[in-house]
Structure 1
Amino acid sequence: MSKKIIEDCVRTSLEGYFRDLRGTEPDGMHDMLVRAVEKPLLEVVMAQADHNQSKAAQWLGLNRNTLRKKLLEHKLIS
């Protein structure tokens, strides 16, 4: 899947989000979107990396400790 396809999917979702708001002004969209995307991103990458945190961190361009923190925040590890 190309970057453009992912961007188009996000754009379409955001347009739907604004339609659903029906004129109500959004609040805290950046944090909402980052959290909505981050959890499934971590889930899929961890599965593809056979739950190897070092490999997943490398793929994501993160420090392993940062990845662990994010996995804990999303309750994907205990």
Structure 2
Amino acid sequence: MIEKIAIAETLDSITLRQAVKDTLKNYFTNIGGEQPVDFYSILLEEIERPLLEVLINHTHYNQVRMAHILGISRGTLRKKLKQYGMLD
């Protein structure tokens, strides 16, 4: 059973990694020769916001569980929620 879970997690990780890679390739192809500015911050926001939205639904806004899932402190989580206007 544990082996099956590990294999499923590995497959999900590979699928997610490939989806991110494909999306990034597509993005850079579409912008042509343009050089994005502060791309890392843009990328973080594009990933963090939907991730937090999904976790809010998954945990029923339980910040302790959300922080645990993300592997960050509750304080850091609250900072991110505030940053995106998601703090109750």
Fold-level similarity (TM above 0.5): yes
- Note the C-alpha offset of 1:59: 0.8
Letter in 2 for 1:8: Q
List gaps (5 residues or longer) in structure 1. none
Compare relative contact order (CA 8 Å, sep 6+) and give the higher one, 1 or 2.
1
Q: Distance in 2 between matches of 1:12 and 1:77?
A: 32
Q: Distance in 2 between matches of 1:52 and 1:42?
A: 11
RMSD: 1.2
- Note the C-alpha offset of 1:26: 2.0
Aligned residues: 78
Runs of 4+ residues deviating >4 angstroms? none
Q: For 1:35, which of 26, 45, 59 is the aligned residue?
A: 45
SS at match of 1:75: coil
List gaps (5 residues or longer) in structure 2. 1-10
Letter in 2 for 1:62: I
| Residues 7-18 of structure 1 mapped to structure 2, 5 A cutoff | 7-18=17-28
Tell me the equivalent position of 2:80: 70
Asked if 1:54 is matched to 2:64, the reply is yes
TM-score (norm 1): 0.91
Letter in 2 for 1:77: L
Q: Distance in 2 between matches of 1:26 and 1:72?
A: 26
TM-score (norm 2): 0.82
Q: Percent identity?
A: 32
